Structure 1
Amino acid sequence: MRFILLFLLITTTACTQNLTVKGLQQPVEVLRDQWGVNHIYAKNEHDLFFAQGYMAAQDRLFQLEMWRRQATGTVAELLGPRELKRDIGTRLFKFRPQNLNAELNVYHPHGSLIVRAFVAGINAYITEINQTPDKLPFEFKTLNTKPGLWTPEIVISRHQGLLSNIRDELNNGRLVHLIGADSLRALQWFHPVDKPGAPDLTLHVDGTGLMQNILELYEAFRLPIRFSATDKSLGATDEDEARRMRERDAVDDWFEAEKQFVGSNNWVIAGEKSASGYPMLANDPHRAQSAPSLRYWAHLNAPGWNVIGAGEPTLPGISVGHNDYGAWGLTIFDTDNEDLYVYEINPANPNQYRYKGRWETMRVLRETIPVKGQAAQTVTLKYTRHGPVVFEDGKAHRAYAVRAGWREQGCSPYLASLRMNQAKSWAEFRQACLYSRIPGENMIWAGRPSATRKGDIGWQAVGLAPIRKNWTGLVPVPGDGRFEWAGYLPIAQLPHSENPQSGYIVTANNNLTPPDFPHRNAIGWVWASPSRAHRIEEVLGDGRRKTLPDFMRLQADYVALPARTLVPLLEPLSSPDLPTEQALTYLRKWNYELGTSSVAAAIYVSYETQLRRAFLNMAVPADARTYLKSIPTKRLLDWAVTPQLATNRPINRDSLLLACVTNAVEDLTKQLGPDMETWVYGQRTLKHITLTHALSDLVSDEQRRRINIGPAARGGYAETVNATGNSLNQEHGATFRIVMDTQDWDRTMGINSPGQSADPDSPHYRDLFPLWAENGYFPAFFTRKRVEQVTETKMVLKP
């Protein structure tokens, strides 16, 4: 861990900048440390969050502008007609509060004050920078635009929330139509399942109608914004729109990747399991890799507030981190808060649908959307009692609407963290969790012991969970009144535990639902592979007391648990093909680690890829592969250890495994040449990471080199604790990590790739990327004394 010691030896002498900022009530000190983290010291709550917004805008202005446009449905105003469907989808699903203050105060008793102060801070910086447009970040100059002012409604937008399963629900309906419910249950891993024929996949709607592009508007507003060379001129052309249509597979791939690889790890251990004797906690959320980073570190200090960690630059507060009393972290817990309803439409009036035997009239809104390069477009938005109408089939007299629980009050993602930031005990933290509705999460806590307080550890699943009394939520249902939600399950009734006998809690998006959980249809049926969780449990349960370096090594762990099943199956096999036999020899001697200097790792990953492809092609009919693009690891392993595979035709298991090794060798030979000793995992052509800025295609080669970052060698894959996805260029995984020992908050370590700033001219744009690429960390100091020792610049914001 030399890199940590080197950082700790560095001390700095900070220069002081004095700025007058309209909107503050009292002076605020901002100490920016040498890793770009702002430590904000304010004298009151308003100024604390004003300064957080102000500094976030200073560091991440273009990110904030893209969030603003996505939240308000004004992307087409910047990028032209190809983004019109995105804006329609945004406005169709937009949350429109009846009482804004009531909405804001759900997240915290002072929520209205906090959010409005945060917005005021953002706007103060935007107002300043717009007066000197030559100082705007390069993205604004490239696109010939300026940042717009924020409102509180922008903060509570749900457009970037990790939402639910509506695409899976539609695809399940399509698959039941194409291959039948029994085949789908055999292919997908729905669990837990306590009886034959479960879960119920009865399709009560016409399957043929489901084959249409029903969720186009929903998908459009969920997709990340992509830029092309035409965005520098008058927006996109018809040719670009045709290209967008050709990229339909890319859209499916993005959602598939989000489903498979957007995950996280967290774990907490009790004092009896740690070397310090105090509870410890680790968290590494897995999201899309990007430049700049999704995450943003901050330290907030004011009367009643002292919290450090990270969230997103667009939101006030800290999502993952610690205060004086305890630490917390999150991973995704699968709740199901979306359903697709299908309606019979009145042939005489397309705005009426049948509900409980009579025609009911849709609510209709009309909005005008500005579009760059052409006249503004007026669009019609329709709503049933269940939600937005996303598709109308005039010929069949059918309409499709999405009921999205997250469109209700109190569902803005992560804002309930504001309550968590002030929790002083497990009981207070769990109470704060009851306000966390979107996304579904596993929240864990490590309390710092004191003379009056026990060092509790705990887990509470959170999220909006609709109660379905007569269906599973896995397939679309008629909107005729037979399938209605019976309210929401109180969050306190979701799974939870406190101070377990094992002395540790591990969550990694795997299924932690007790087999006898009484509200099965309120939560999801599809969970992440348990490989990451099992590996973490294996290490935490090895009988050794753990230290922070142990936690760091575990977050960087590259052991592939599926290999422990799949590689031994090859041991008795041999091949007359010399390269195949040589590959088998490498695998027999391998330690199952996907490290960056391993030949066996390269062979194994290619072999597993071939095996997954072979199983998919054998088990899933060609016309169904559009809707089931991958086989769960559980099914892969079950089939691999079964001599007679459960596929559509009999096949010899050993022959198949050997053929997959041969195919892997042939694939690697084409990529890297015949010398197997050079097939080292982590090479640029095998496993690496390059971060490409969203505007990379719009700038010169010189600018492109300035804004793109990498490459760097990577290890691991989607099933390792250090999850790096299954693509050659790592696109998902942990950009932010944190490890905390409650004995001493100044020992907290963290990382944020590629850096805290979004400005390529800033030293903090890419400074953390080399450290992150080596699975390293920086110290996240908490006490004022230690922060001052590593302060790079001191800024005093004055009213």
Structure 2
Amino acid sequence: MALLFRWLLRLTGSTVILTALAVAAVYFLASRSLPDYSKSLEVAGLSAPVEIVRDHANVPHIFGAADRDVFFGLGYAHAQDRLWQMVTMRRTVQGRLSEVFGTRTLAVDKLMRRLDLYTLAQRSVAAQDAQTIVALEGYAAGVNARLAEINRDALGRGAPEMFLFDVPIALWQPADSLAMVKLMALEMSGQLETEVMRARSSLLLPDLARLSDLLPDAPGSGVAALPAYASLIDAPLPQFTASVALPEHPLSPFRHSAFAGASNAWAAAASRSASGGTLLANDPHLGFSAPTMWYLARLELQGGGVIGATIPGIPSVLSGRSDSLGWALTSAYVDDQDVYIEQINPENPEEYRTPDGFKPFVTRKSIIQIKDEQPVTLTLRWTDNGPVLPGTHYNLEAITPPGHVAALAWTALSPKDTTMSAGIGLMSARTVQAAIAATVSFVAPAQNLTLVDKTQIALKTIGAMPRRSVAHQSRGRMPSPGWIEANRWQGRLSYAANPEFVAPLGGILGNTNNKIVDRPFPLHISFDWGDSQRVLRWQRLMQSRQVHTRDSFIEAQLDTVSPAARTLLPLIGADLWFTGEAAPKGTPEAQRQRALALLADWNGEMNEHLPEPLLYAAWLRALQDRLIRDDLGPLADEFLHVEPLFIERVYRDVDGAAVWCDVIQSAPVETCTDMARLALDDALIWITERYGPALESLRWGDAHQATHDHPVLGKLPLLRYFVNIRQSTSGGDHTLMRGLTSGAPEAPFENVHGAGYRGVYDFADPDSSVFVTATGQSGHFLSRHYDDLGELWRRGEYIPMSLDAGLARAAAVGITHLTPD
């Protein structure tokens, strides 16, 4: 027995020692890739020395004698902090993820190859202007200098992830940066899915008028009547097809339309500013990740310094300011995608129908290499309208008749995409007029550009807008036959047709992705907009003050009052508030009365510490499901988020919309009050099962956690606790401090999409401007800068946005000197 005990003790001790050694070895190897910010380094590709001063928040301030050298420094800094993020994004747009991750990402690669974005980016290099070529080449040289340093000095392969996924890293090319822009355009596009959803819903709903309830138009006139989708296609359509999920890998850029991009931006003229200078605020919204997509940087260019938010891989400050100009971006929701149903020649499957007869597809073979598997060969097919997509993509097969395929027209599929040139030119502009002129070459993704200079404010929609015929059968709202000439695009509208507002009389401009113009088709911009609620709160906050300050703009960015909650609760609870007899404790009736009592005293603030936001969100989610489930069946699962305009139409009985309250499969005629009561009971059961019966103890923040997850390591046991960043957050789907919920059945209220960057710029005192990102500058989870900005972001705090080099040096965490080799 004693001998056995001794051997067990030895084995246990040996295991502990070996485990400790293994952990120490892993930490040593991983920490080798932590960048050293205080050093001098000789590098190839520079014409003169470059200095990178990293301020107290690890924001690089880059100084050089020529613009090319400054962009070199930005490429080097991006590669120091975000190399893994950059190479995975590049692999995504190239359709080469499966070389690293195996069959898990094959569906993503297939779709990316069919869109062929990387080839289009390569062809677009020749279309850039001279200063953009200088920026692209300098930036690529800076990235490659960091790669050379990693290889020469054995710096842990550049990132900890490289030890788990050991694959060669190709040198960075100018086309790679253009491809990053196209990838962002893909992630911010949603018109394709919206067209398909409208067509699928049209096929299920016997009364076409109900389609305007379910997918409501933004308030305002000028909306075209919709045809029934079945009337557009002279062929038998599928009676039923099961929904196919989108590729679910975290690196997939294919998102539901609700996650296709959103943002806030507002500006005040000097006449509406307490300081006497113009004001600008911006918080662009993207999916959360660790690290965040955004990276803060300052570039000291020959024309002056610029500072703000960049995206690793792209040599441009996308949202930021110089000493005389500030610029902000919000998704414009331009209808820049159309789905075409293409008829295949029954005599020759290699041809498709055009207005002039049948024509061969343009085809090309593409081979996808797969880790530990045999390669897959795809045949890519293009029509005059665009690439042919598989029927599984956004469930295109559900609206595609036999003998036909679906193709996509999209402005981002241009081989002469000059969006990058517009971005580089914008940084050189010093006035509103110069900035508007510089962005004439912007293609995709279409954005609303809010601008301020020392004296003026403006908003200009930038990006290509398709020119459609007034005879277009669906006006771009549903898929249409590709062989009918009137349905095809007729080029682009002129830049002058893009909406423009300069120096408005009221002195305030803003955009929350709301409808900005009310023009008839085909100058309509879009039939689908990204917001009908946040703008109501924004208008109230802007008009509640005669003059604004930097702090009042910050207050608006962080506002958590839901106008949807304030509108909908009195409607759906009109016949439930304070009615009924007292119910015994512990009964469903008593629980319902407690919930209603809490909501009756609530002001609509989606505060993380309150129970009411969770009660409201669960109730509305259950209610919408009850209203549409019997009409749509399984398609109801794809309506992930509550649509306030739909609920309001139903409960105000707009154009007979209250008919949604009746369950068509049941004999009794249910009222909207019945549905509201049943849905509240559903919500309370769900809440009790998840969080217990004590309603007063509920916290919205427990359900509404911001999920900054590592897209690759975030699912791994144990490691996920080191790489994922989770935060209890306020806000919701319809608040200015937007925290879009996932809608997923397992965790429907997780905060997955919001303002990864916030900036507020005051041109009375530009160096008092502030900004912040949602995580930190570093993508290395062992770095203290991996999440150091995250807690500031959660609390609604900011860091200075100064172009004062002395301030940057005063508290620098490191200074890097790059000199020509």
TM-score range, shorter chain: 0.7 to 0.9
Q: Aligned in 2, Cα 1:563/1:315: closer, same or farther, shift over 3 Å?
A: same
CA drift of 1:447 comes to 0.8
8 A Cα contact 1:29 1:41, kept in partner = yes
8 A Cα contact 1:106 1:410, kept in partner = yes
Q: Deviations over 1:29-85 (max 9, x none)?
A: 110011111000111011011111111011100011102212222212112234334
CA distance in 1: counterparts of 2:732 and 2:37, whole angstroms: 44
Worse-matched range after superposition: 88-97 or 340-349:
88-97
CA drift of 1:426 comes to 1.0
CA distance in 2: counterparts of 1:99 and 1:554, whole angstroms: 38
> Which residue of structure 2 lines up, in the alignment, with residue 241 of structure 1?
none
SS in 2 for 1:185: helix
CA distance in 2: counterparts of 1:724 and 1:512, whole angstroms: 23
Query: What are the equivalent positions in structure 2 for 1:19-30 lying under 5 Å apart?
Result: 19-30=41-52
CA drift of 1:270 comes to 0.9
CA drift of 1:526 comes to 1.2
SS in 2 for 1:286: strand
Query: What are the equivalent positions in structure 2 for 1:81-100 lying under 5 Å apart?
Result: 81-95=103-117
CA drift of 1:137 comes to 1.3
CA distance in 1: counterparts of 2:37 and 2:129, whole angstroms: 36
CA drift of 1:192 comes to 6.0
2:217 is aligned with 1:190? yes
CA drift of 1:777 comes to 0.9
Q: Deviations over 1:439-482 (max 9, x none)?
A: 1211101111xxxxxx1100011222111112211111222243
CA distance in 2: counterparts of 1:215 and 1:616, whole angstroms: 16
CA distance in 2: counterparts of 1:333 and 1:280, whole angstroms: 21
CA drift of 1:95 comes to 4.2
2:61 is aligned with 1:39? yes
CA drift of 1:373 comes to 1.4
> Which residue of structure 2 lines up, in the alignment, with residue 239 of structure 1?
none
Q: Aligned in 2, Cα 1:90/1:687: closer, same or farther, shift over 3 Å?
A: closer
8 A Cα contact 1:672 1:678, kept in partner = no
Query: Structure 2: which amino acid aligns with 1:566?
Result: L
> Which residue of structure 2 lines up, in the alignment, with residue 233 of structure 1?
none
2:705 is aligned with 1:706? no
8 A Cα contact 1:108 1:419, kept in partner = no
CA distance in 1: counterparts of 2:516 and 2:238, whole angstroms: 32
> Which residue of structure 2 lines up, in the alignment, with residue 688 of structure 1?
705
8 A Cα contact 1:334 1:527, kept in partner = yes
CA distance in 2: counterparts of 1:171 and 1:49, whole angstroms: 43
2:493 is aligned with 1:489? yes
> Which residue of structure 1 lines up, in the alignment, with residue 205 of structure 2?
179
Worse-matched range after superposition: 49-58 or 108-117:
108-117
2:142 is aligned with 1:121? yes
Q: Deviations over 1:200-253 (max 9, x none)?
A: 455422575567989989x65x97427xxxxxxxxxxxxxxxxxxxxxxxx99x
8 A Cα contact 1:716 1:724, kept in partner = yes
Q: Aligned in 2, Cα 1:667/1:307: closer, same or farther, shift over 3 Å?
A: same
8 A Cα contact 2:191 2:257, kept in partner = no
CA drift of 1:106 comes to 5.0
SS in 2 for 1:360: strand
SS in 2 for 1:537: helix
**TM-score of the pair, normalised by structure 1:** 0.87
Worse-matched range after superposition: 42-51 or 188-197:
188-197
CA distance in 1: counterparts of 2:94 and 2:563, whole angstroms: 44
> Which residue of structure 2 lines up, in the alignment, with residue 317 of structure 1?
316
Q: Aligned in 2, Cα 1:117/1:209: closer, same or farther, shift over 3 Å?
A: farther
Q: Aligned in 2, Cα 1:207/1:552: closer, same or farther, shift over 3 Å?
A: farther
CA distance in 1: counterparts of 2:67 and 2:732, whole angstroms: 43
CA drift of 1:263 comes to 0.9
CA distance in 2: counterparts of 1:540 and 1:418, whole angstroms: 32
Query: Structure 2: which amino acid aligns with 1:532?
Result: R
CA drift of 1:586 comes to 1.6
SS in 2 for 1:40: strand
CA drift of 1:147 comes to 2.5
2:695 is aligned with 1:652? no
CA drift of 1:789 comes to 2.2
> Which residue of structure 2 lines up, in the alignment, with residue 398 of structure 1?
404
**TM-score of the pair, normalised by structure 2:** 0.85
Query: Structure 1: which amino acid aligns with 2:156?
Result: D
CA distance in 1: counterparts of 2:433 and 2:266, whole angstroms: 19
2:353 is aligned with 1:354? yes
> Which residue of structure 2 lines up, in the alignment, with residue 436 of structure 1?
442
8 A Cα contact 1:410 1:437, kept in partner = no
Worse-matched range after superposition: 310-319 or 389-398:
389-398
8 A Cα contact 2:661 2:670, kept in partner = no
CA distance in 2: counterparts of 1:661 and 1:100, whole angstroms: 54
> Which residue of structure 2 lines up, in the alignment, with residue 546 of structure 1?
548
CA distance in 1: counterparts of 2:504 and 2:361, whole angstroms: 51
8 A Cα contact 1:30 1:795, kept in partner = yes
8 A Cα contact 1:178 1:624, kept in partner = no
Query: Structure 2: which amino acid aligns with 1:198?
Result: A
> Which residue of structure 2 lines up, in the alignment, with residue 243 of structure 1?
none
CA drift of 1:630 comes to 4.9
Name which of 159, 165, 187 aligns with 2:191.
Answer: 165
Name which of 128, 131, 134 aligns with 2:156.
Answer: 134
Query: Structure 1: which amino acid aligns with 2:579?
Result: S
SS in 2 for 1:791: coil
Query: What are the equivalent positions in structure 2 for 1:444-455 lying under 5 Å apart?
Result: 444-448=450-454, 455=455
> Which residue of structure 2 lines up, in the alignment, with residue 668 of structure 1?
687
SS in 1 for 2:736: coil
CA drift of 1:681 comes to 2.4
CA distance in 1: counterparts of 2:370 and 2:120, whole angstroms: 28
CA distance in 2: counterparts of 1:43 and 1:607, whole angstroms: 60
CA distance in 1: counterparts of 2:514 and 2:457, whole angstroms: 19
CA distance in 2: counterparts of 1:216 and 1:567, whole angstroms: 34
Q: Aligned in 2, Cα 1:270/1:357: closer, same or farther, shift over 3 Å?
A: closer
Query: Structure 1: which amino acid aligns with 2:750?
Result: N
Worse-matched range after superposition: 667-676 or 122-131:
667-676
CA drift of 1:327 comes to 0.5
Query: What are the equivalent positions in structure 2 for 1:263-282 lying under 5 Å apart?
Result: 263-282=262-281
CA distance in 2: counterparts of 1:715 and 1:141, whole angstroms: 37
SS in 2 for 1:739: strand
Number of paired residues? Answer: 743
Q: Aligned in 2, Cα 1:108/1:586: closer, same or farther, shift over 3 Å?
A: farther
Query: What are the equivalent positions in structure 2 for 1:758-769 lying under 5 Å apart?
Result: 758-769=779-790
8 A Cα contact 1:688 1:730, kept in partner = yes
Name which of 613, 628, 632 aligns with 1:621.
Answer: 632
CA distance in 2: counterparts of 1:332 and 1:409, whole angstroms: 22
Query: Structure 2: which amino acid aligns with 1:722?
Result: M
2:251 is aligned with 1:225? yes
8 A Cα contact 1:33 1:793, kept in partner = yes
2:650 is aligned with 1:639? yes
Name which of 790, 793, 799 aligns with 2:814.
Answer: 793
CA distance in 2: counterparts of 1:214 and 1:111, whole angstroms: 47
CA distance in 1: counterparts of 2:111 and 2:138, whole angstroms: 29
8 A Cα contact 2:361 2:381, kept in partner = yes
CA distance in 2: counterparts of 1:609 and 1:573, whole angstroms: 22
Name which of 224, 227, 233 aligns with 1:205.
Answer: 233
CA drift of 1:15 comes to 8.6
CA drift of 1:174 comes to 2.3
Worse-matched range after superposition: 721-730 or 623-632:
623-632
Query: Structure 1: which amino acid aligns with 2:712?
Result: L
SS in 2 for 1:368: strand
CA drift of 1:697 comes to 5.7
Q: Aligned in 2, Cα 1:213/1:286: closer, same or farther, shift over 3 Å?
A: farther
CA distance in 1: counterparts of 2:401 and 2:628, whole angstroms: 35
Q: Aligned in 2, Cα 1:416/1:195: closer, same or farther, shift over 3 Å?
A: closer
2:619 is aligned with 1:591? no
2:285 is aligned with 1:258? no
CA drift of 1:189 comes to 1.2
CA drift of 1:397 comes to 2.9
CA distance in 2: counterparts of 1:395 and 1:652, whole angstroms: 38
> Which residue of structure 1 lines up, in the alignment, with residue 778 of structure 2?
757
Q: Deviations over 1:169-216 (max 9, x none)?
A: 223222222325433223211246747861445542257556798998
Q: Aligned in 2, Cα 1:336/1:195: closer, same or farther, shift over 3 Å?
A: closer
> Which residue of structure 2 lines up, in the alignment, with residue 461 of structure 1?
461
CA distance in 2: counterparts of 1:544 and 1:640, whole angstroms: 36
SS in 2 for 1:533: helix
> Which residue of structure 2 lines up, in the alignment, with residue 247 of structure 1?
none
CA drift of 1:313 comes to 0.7
Structure 2 alignment gaps of length 5 or more = 1-35, 392-396, 582-588, 663-668, 742-747
Query: Structure 1: which amino acid aligns with 2:213?
Result: A
Q: Deviations over 1:290-329 (max 9, x none)?
A: 1011011110003124110002111001000001211110
